[in-house]
Amino acid sequence: MGLLKELNLPTGVIYGDDVLKLFTYAREKGFAIPAVNVTSSSTVVAALEAARDAKAPIILQTSQGGAAYFAGKGVKNSAEKQEASVGGAIAAAHYIRSVAPLYGIPVVLHTDHCAKKLLPWLDGMLDEDEKFFKQNGIPLFSSHMIDLSEEPVDENISTCVAYLKRAAPMKQWLEMEIGITGGEEDGVDNTGVDNASLYTQPEDIWQIEQAFRPISKYFSIAAGFGNVHGVYAPGNVRLHPELLGKHQAFVSEKLGGDDKKPVFFVFHGGSGSSKQEYLDAISHGVIKVNVDTDMQWAYLTGIRDYVTKNIDYLKTQVGNPEGPSKPNKKKYDPRVWVREGEKTMSTRVAECLRDFNAAGTL
């Protein structure tokens, strides 16, 4: 293993061929990189710290809502312009670009799930990418994601192709999604849905590969294999990561090459999955796993436990069980209690890095 020595990857936010090198290496060596949703400088540093300590690369991503939160909940975010989401994502990107080198690890800067009605958000970010590219020879973001899985397959693919054409000159990565994300028994009644539409079929993956490959090699596919977004009670979701293996074999045969795993897969709705399910998916070419929900929970637990434990010090600015004139400033300083959330989130990110075999890959 040696992303830095063997591959000579730079540290800080990486782009283009470095992202391709990282994902190719991950697919070859059998590890995946957790993609952590960040909504603040605090969650960014929690993730960076975990990756640095685990000697691993990391993917940081902002969702449309998370990006707006970065700008501030009080900022207008119209459907047509997505001002807060565009501005917040750009602010997050500059912040991450500034601090990432301090951690000495490669970081992929990504944006999460952009559904059809959110495309103005992506348009705004791409405008900024192109501006940044003119000045610096790299886009601002390493990678973006388009989720048109709810739309007809042909529309999904043709829209993604149009965006891939815009991203390709900047060697910017594009992640797309196909297939129903939901579950067999997750409370959604899928009795009327046949198996073919519940799980992505190999022909769908090949259709994407055929459409994308002539334009760019910088893309990945989030294919449904029984995934759900969010966390459900154990036993309610049945994943079929072996389907990804079938897709790889199908595409490999169509391409007629020696590459047995030609597709870059992304695992969505990963929170709550077992370690074995992750490892099976990774063995079939998953190089990125989204882990938002578990990280939100982890971040809360540190703050929750801190407040619960210190509640008698947090009711007034002055006065606590040690005396009526004792000050509580050291207890209510946000650097103390927010930090507790960072620590528990960091611990959870570290667990993902170990589970996905990414720890120790630098």
Q: How far is the CB of 110 from Zn ion (least distance, A)?
A: 13
Token pair in block for residue 50: 């975990």
The span from the CA of 227 to the CA of 230, in Å, is 9
In sequence order, what are the residues at sequence separation of 6 or more whose Cβ sits closer than 8 angstroms to the Cβ of residue 286? 32, 241, 244, 265, 266, 267, 278
The span from the CA of 57 to the CA of 296, in Å, is 20
Query: Which is nearer to Zn ion, 261 or 268 (by Cβ)?
Result: 268
Token pair in block for residue 168: 């390709």
Q: How far is the CB of 243 from Zn ion (least distance, A)?
A: 16
Query: Which is nearer to Zn ion, 113 or 343 (by Cβ)?
Result: 113
Indicate the residue whose CB is closest to Zn ion.
268
The span from the CA of 246 to the CA of 249, in Å, is 5
Query: Which is nearer to Zn ion, 11 or 273 (by Cβ)?
Result: 273
- Is there a contact between 177 and 149 (Cβ–Cβ < 8 Å)? yes
* Residue 294 is among the residues annotated as catalytic for this protein: no
Q: How far is the CB of 294 from Zn ion (least distance, A)?
A: 15
Segments in 111-241 forming alpha helices (H):
119-136, 153-167, 195-198, 202-212
Beta bridge partners of 220: 175
H-helix or E-strand spanning residue 106: strand 106-111
Query: Which is nearer to Zn ion, 103 or 264 (by Cβ)?
Result: 264
Q: How far is the CB of 286 from Zn ion (least distance, A)?
A: 13
- Is there a contact between 275 and 283 (Cβ–Cβ < 8 Å)? no
Q: How far is the CB of 98 from Zn ion (least distance, A)?
A: 29
Q: Which spans of this chain sit near Zn ion (rule: CB under 5 A)?
A: 177, 268
Closest CA to 107 of 117, 115, 97, 121: 97
Q: How far is the CB of 178 from Zn ion (least distance, A)?
A: 10
Query: Which is nearer to Zn ion, 38 or 145 (by Cβ)?
Result: 145
Q: How far is the CB of 222 from Zn ion (least distance, A)?
A: 5
Query: Which is nearer to Zn ion, 21 or 229 (by Cβ)?
Result: 229
| Candidate list 17, 18, 53, 112, residue with the active-site label | 112
Query: Which is nearer to Zn ion, 177 or 355 (by Cβ)?
Result: 177
- 3-class DSSP assignment, residue 313: helix
Closest CA to 57 of 357, 271, 299, 277: 357
- Is there a contact between 4 and 362 (Cβ–Cβ < 8 Å)? yes
Q: Burial code of 102-123, b = ≥16 C-beta within 10 A, e = fewer?
A: ebebbbbbbbbbbbeebebbbe
**Residue positions annotated with a catalytic role:** 112
